[in-house]
């Protein structure tokens, strides 16, 4: 049985919008995907390679010095900031649009706080 997060990997990658950037053809996918042991399944590695995405997934059973800590730290820190808002941590909202609005509001509050400390 796959963990809940791992079952959503394919739909998450399919939902990535066009990435705007420099001139030329817009990107539709990331170059690399960093993930923890919960995503270490041959099925997902093959899925990523077929789409031209290099999987940077920690192997199950490997020691904890995999080197992904620097990259994952950014994500874990952002999730920690968002978890200070109880409505997002517990997910009370039934409607997805209300949850999305609260998430955007929380991101704006966090960003404003970061701007205040930067100057």
From first CA to last CA, the distance across the chain in angstroms is 49
Query: Does any domain span residue 73?
Result: no
Query: Does any domain span residue 33?
Result: yes
Query: Could you tell me if 1 and 53 lie in one domain?
Result: yes
Q: Are 93 and 55 in contact (CB under 8 A)?
A: no
Query: Does any domain span residue 76?
Result: no
Name the domain count of the chain.
2
- If you search the block for the tokens 């990535």, which residue do you land on? 16
Q: What's the CA gap between 60 and 52, in Å, rounded?
A: 23
Query: Does any domain span residue 78?
Result: no
Query: Does any domain span residue 36?
Result: yes
State if pTM tops 0.75: no
Q: How confident is the model at residue 2 (pLDDT cuts 50, 70, 90)?
A: very low
Q: What is the pLDDT of residues 60-112, one digit of tens each?
A: 777 766 566 677 777 788 888 888 888 887 777 788 888 889 889 999 999 99
Query: Could you tell me if 61 and 89 lie in one domain?
Result: no
Q: Domain limits at 95?
A: 83-119
Name the E strands within 28-86. 32-35, 54-57
Query: Could you tell me if 17 and 45 lie in one domain?
Result: yes
Query: Does any domain span residue 112?
Result: yes
């Amino acid at each position: 049985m796959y963990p809940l997060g791992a079952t959503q990997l394919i739909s998450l990658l399919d939902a990535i919008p066009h990435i705007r950037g420099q001139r030329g053809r817009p990107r539709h996918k990331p170059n690399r995907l960093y993930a923890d042991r919960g995503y270490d399944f041959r099925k997902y590695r093959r899925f990523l390679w077929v789409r031209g995405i290099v999987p940077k997934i920690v192997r199950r059973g490997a020691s904890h010095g995999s080197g992904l800590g620097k990259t994952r730290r950014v994500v874990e820190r952002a999730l920690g900031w968002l978890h200070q808002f109880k409505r997002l941590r517990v997910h009370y909202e039934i409607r997805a649009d209300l949850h999305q609005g609260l998430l955007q509001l929380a991101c704006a509050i966090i960003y404003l706080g970061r701007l205040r400390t930067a100057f």
